[in-house]
Amino acid sequence: MDTTDTKSILETAIRFHGHQCPGLAMGIRVSLVALRELGKPAKDEELVAIVENSSCGVDAIQVLTGCTFGKGNLIFKDYGKYVYTFMNRETRKALRISIKKEAVLSDKHHLDLFAKVKARTADPAEMEEFKRLHIEKSNALLDLPEADLMSIEVINPEPLPMAHIHESICCARCDEPVMETRIRLIDGAPHCIPCFEELMG
């Protein structure tokens, strides 16, 4: 990927995510910093991302940096913060990137429209206005000088285990295979979490 070709990067991210939005723009900007500072997209697990939200921007991070849920090098911490930590396991270099509050907070008009769109009470004109503002804000974030958009801090990497392959054991109730680390025992018999919760709930 040519990280200077912003048009094709945006297209790649939109193709994966489904639409252009402010969150996606933040994810693109964060990804480009991670790639610039820490190296190439992860083929394996050399690059790791820890994301503190699970919204639109994380899709850009997955498709652009190669840190994906399926590979196990995307770690989600449900803190609801616009904070992204990246580390390169080989060089041991790590960055904590936080989006500045001025970039996160939307103006009231945009938020009011967003609320109407979500509640399905927006009329067609408001719908159009919302879409226009959403793309406008997204483009503004793509163009914002880096120092106005984010704080970047070099940190000491926390130790991370490599994703291990675990054996599967069949649940005593539903007989479906379960990763051994997720087994719950009832009277010594292995159960999957849904079965365990149903039986014990």
Residues that bind Zn ion (CB under 5 A): 21, 56, 171, 173-174, 192, 195
Local structure of residue 89 (DSSP, 8 states): T
CB of 67 to Zn ion, least distance (A): 18
Token pair 């580390």 is found at 87
Q: Which CB, 21 or 67, lies closer to Zn ion?
A: 21
CB of 114 to Zn ion, least distance (A): 12
CB of 59 to Zn ion, least distance (A): 7
C-alpha to C-alpha distance for 47 and 65, rounded to whole angstroms: 8
Query: What b-and-e string marks burial along 115-140, b requiring 16 or more CB atoms within 10 Å of the CB?
Result: ebbeeeebeeeeeebbeebbeebbee
Cβ neighbours around 93 below 10 Å, total? 16
Q: Which CB, 36 or 120, lies closer to Zn ion?
A: 120
CB of 169 to Zn ion, least distance (A): 11
Q: Which CB, 54 or 151, lies closer to Zn ion?
A: 54
Q: Which CB, 89 or 137, lies closer to Zn ion?
A: 137
Distances (CA, A) of 151 to 25, 34, 102: 16, 13, 12
Q: Give bridge partners of residue 186 from the DSSP assignment.
A: 189
Q: How far is C-alpha 140 from the chain's CA centre?
A: 20
Contact 103, 140 (CB under 8 A): no
Run of H or E including 116: helix 108-118
CB of 76 to Zn ion, least distance (A): 17
Q: Which CB, 93 or 139, lies closer to Zn ion?
A: 139
Q: Which CB, 153 or 198, lies closer to Zn ion?
A: 198
CB of 157 to Zn ion, least distance (A): 29
CA atoms within 13 A on the CB side of 89: 17
